[in-house]
Amino acid sequence: MIDLDLVRREPEKVKENLGRRQVPQYLELFATVQAADNQWRRLHQEGDRLRKRRNELSRALGEARKKGEDAKELSEEAQGLPDKLTEVERLERTSQETRDRTLMRVPNLLETSVPYGKDDRDNATVATWGEVPKPSFPLLSHGELAEKLGIADFDRARRASGAGFFYLEGALAQLDLALQRFALDLILAKGFRLVAPPLMLRRAPYEGVTDLSDFENVMYKIEGDDLYLIATAEHPLGALHLGDLLEEEDLPIRLTAATPCFRREIGGHGVDQKGVFRVHQFQKVEQFVFCRPEDSDRIHEELRANAEDIFQKLRVPYRVVNVCTGDIGTVAAKKYDIEAYFAKQGAYREVVSCSNCTDYQARRLGIRMGKRGKPGKVVPHTLNSTAVATSRAMAVILENYQNADGTVTVPEVLRPYMGGVERIAPPALRPKAETVATGDAS
């Protein structure tokens, strides 16, 4: 939620910023907020006058009664007040609710360095790393390859849970865990604190960390309870400090978590034909930071560098894009995507999303900043970034690391997490050598 004070003091600036997103509806929302706020202020003043009179009369009546005096005139005026006041207060509340509800739908203000544009074609590439591979044999898609290797079962997953789910088996299940352990070790070495958060959240905190429209489109709701399955660890990590007063000297607070993520993605892109690229459930290691406003730009770069570090160590070529004004989500003020190069697809695809949410989430969550127990007016900033989403990382590794003989080389940095194995081999080519993983118990 953006600062209401800013809406009042610098409406033109806010309007200009919202306009950069090129969604006319946002300007309409903004106009609604302004109108409702003006109305509320008028009604609030009128209510104040009536409440003041009520207090005066109450006090006078109390006095008179104590002294045993006759206060018929006062009493008559007092009796007429509540009806008037009730009506004014009803209108007051209505306009306030309209204002606040609408304000919740107004997106975050964008940083000036966000490139202007309409959709993902206007995202600006700000960095590239690694050499794009030139395969010397026909590549398989990661889904086909995983099936041939006998390390994933999409058909049975569909039978059990529907499209968009998968069974990982043997070496691929191990690769999934290896990626998480590798990423966690790397992030923890940079001073983050490991958190195992709840995988379900109530609606109220959830409204603090996400776009309201996500509830219908993205979130899985638990029937019979006020609970939603998390779509990313970003959400419970943000909600960790719901309503808290953060000590300024404790900031920045750097958190990481490895959790499953659950996404319906209805009305969005849907689910890919076969594979793990776009699915309803996947594992992700996340970075999350609460910090002082003046530090968030620097820490945004830090989170991005951490994520880049992971893909460099995995030796996966990628590029970094600065997501443009028309493509960025409602919560972020600035967002980098890291897009890995997928050898079979011959294209860069998103594997990391790294956002500076400035004060937008923290204000919705009721988080404040203070010095030595004294609450201040300043709202801290929040940032989040993927470290690794294993579904996407597994897909790119399978595509890029496949060999002509049908095996897949295990990236070097992951081998310590997979018992030292170097290759994943299909059942037919599965030798007894202990350097080749099958994922079966040895």
CB of 356 to RNA, least distance (A): 25
Query: Taking a C-beta distance cutoff of 8 angstroms, is the pair 29, 102 a contact?
Result: yes
128 sits near RNA (criterion: CB under 7 A):
no
296 counts as catalytic: no
Q: In terms of CB distance, is 245 or 413 closer to RNA? A: 245
* Region 239-298 residues binding RNA, contact defined as CB under 7 A: 245
Selecting among 278, 319, 415, 423, the annotated active-site residue is 278
For 243, the token pair is: 């309503």
DSSP state for residue 116 in the 8-state scheme: P
Decide: is 82 part of the binding site for RNA (CB under 7 A).
Answer: yes
Whether 302 sits among the annotated catalytic residues: the reply is no
Among 8, 84, 105, 158, binds RNA (CB under 7 A): 8
If one asks whether residue 69 binds RNA (CB under 7 A), the answer comes out as: no
Q: Which long-range contacts link 81-90 to residues 24+ away (Cβ below 8 Å)? A: 81/50, 81/53, 81/54, 81/57, 82/54, 84/50, 85/47, 85/50, 85/51, 85/54, 88/43, 88/46, 88/47, 88/50, 89/47
* Residue (59 or 159) nearer to RNA, CB: 59
> For this structure, is 350 an active site residue?
yes
Extract the tokens encoding 7.
Answer: 């809406």
Residue 298 or 371: the one with the smaller Cβ distance to RNA is 371
Strands in 263-358 per DSSP E: 281-291, 318-322, 334-342, 347-356
By C-beta, is 278 or 363 nearer to RNA?
363
Q: Which of 35, 57, 177, 436 binds RNA (CB under 7 A)?
A: 57
In the numeric block, the tokens 């000297």 are attached to 249
CA distance 386 to 283: 11
- Is 68 one of the binding residues for RNA (CB under 7 A)? no
Kindly state the smallest distance separating residue 80's Cβ from RNA, in Å.
Answer: 9
Q: For residue 16, count CB atoms less than 10 angstroms from its CB and return exposed for 0-12, middle for 13-18, buried for 19 or more.
A: exposed
Looking at 141, 296, 353, 355, which residue is catalytic? 353
CB 38 → RNA: shortest distance, Å?
Answer: 9
Nearest-approach distance from CB 367 to RNA, in angstroms: 12
Q: Which of 20, 47, 317, 379 binds RNA (CB under 7 A)?
A: 47
Give first-to-last CA distance, the chain, whole Å: 54
* Min dist. Cβ of residue 43 to RNA (A): 10
CA quadruple 174, 180, 183, 184: dihedral sign: negative
Amino acid at 431: P
Contacts of residue 80, defined as CB under 8 A and 6 or more positions apart, other chains included, come to none
Catalytic residue among 21, 263, 363, 364: 263
Q: Quick check: is 278 catalytic?
A: yes
Which residues would be at the binding site for RNA (CB under 7 A)?
4-5, 8, 41, 44-45, 47-49, 51-52, 54-59, 61-62, 65, 75, 78-79, 81-82, 226, 245, 370-375, 377
Residues tagged active-site: 263, 278, 350, 353, 392
